[in-house]
Amino acid sequence: MSSQSPQQIPQSSAGNTHRRAGTQPNPICRVSDLPPGERRIVEVRSRSIGVFNVHGEYYALRSLCPHQGAPLCRGAITGTARSTAPGEIIWEREGQILRCPWHGWEFDIATGRSVFNPHRLRVRTYDVTVDVTVEQPEPEEEDPSVESFDVTVEDGWVVLHA
């Protein structure tokens, strides 16, 4: 697991009913340490897993290319090209595609499915949530002449469920 793990697991901000049975929460890093377009590769239970921030959404893939076992999550984060007419190329899905560093096989980061053959080839995905620890200030004696407001501090963590 990442060396930046917190001392305790933060409390979840929302339940995820689609989580696989038997998974455990593994805090990866603070949200601010994984900006959009970046990834963090971690070892969880002897598996290399890449955690990605794609335009503010978090995804995780097993870092094992099904073609020849390459460290998939070390590949380039890219997009796809499409053409609607001769000589026209439209670049789309920027930051949503992961290209294997050995042979260039491409996978959708969100689904793990192959770009070339999405119905037959894919890599394993994992659930990722953003959990928060909320600290409430200590209540003070109320003075009716002073108007005060509650303040909370939220410390967001990216948590992998594997």
Residue-level pLDDT at 135: 52
Q: Look at residue 89 and tell me whether its pLDDT is greater than 70.
A: yes
Residue-level pLDDT at 151: 43
Q: Phi first, then psi: what are they for 55, rounded to 5°?
A: 50, 40
pTM higher than the cut 0.85: no
Please return the burial class of 128, using the count of CB atoms within 10 Å of its CB with bins 0-12, 13-18 and 19+.
buried
Which residue shows structure tokens 């200590």?
138
Q: Phi first, then psi: what are they for 32, rounded to 5°?
A: -65, -20
Q: Look at residue 55 and tell me whether its pLDDT is greater than 90.
A: yes
Quick one: what percent of the chain has pLDDT higher than 90? Answer: 59
Mean pLDDT of 105-133: 91
Mean pLDDT of 57-66: 95
Residue-level pLDDT at 155: 62
Q: Which residue has the higher pLDDT, 30 or 136?
A: 30
Residue-level pLDDT at 11: 37
Tokens encoding 91: 């670049």
* CATH architecture for the domain at 31-131: 3-layer Sandwich (2.102)
Q: Which of 10-14, 59-63, 89-93 has the lowest mean pLDDT?
A: 10-14
Residue-level pLDDT at 161: 87
Mean pLDDT of all residues in the chain? 80
Residue-level pLDDT at 14: 36
Q: How confident is the model at residue 119 (pLDDT cuts 50, 70, 90)?
A: very high
At CB < 8 A and 24+ separation, what contacts does 113-118 make? 115/80
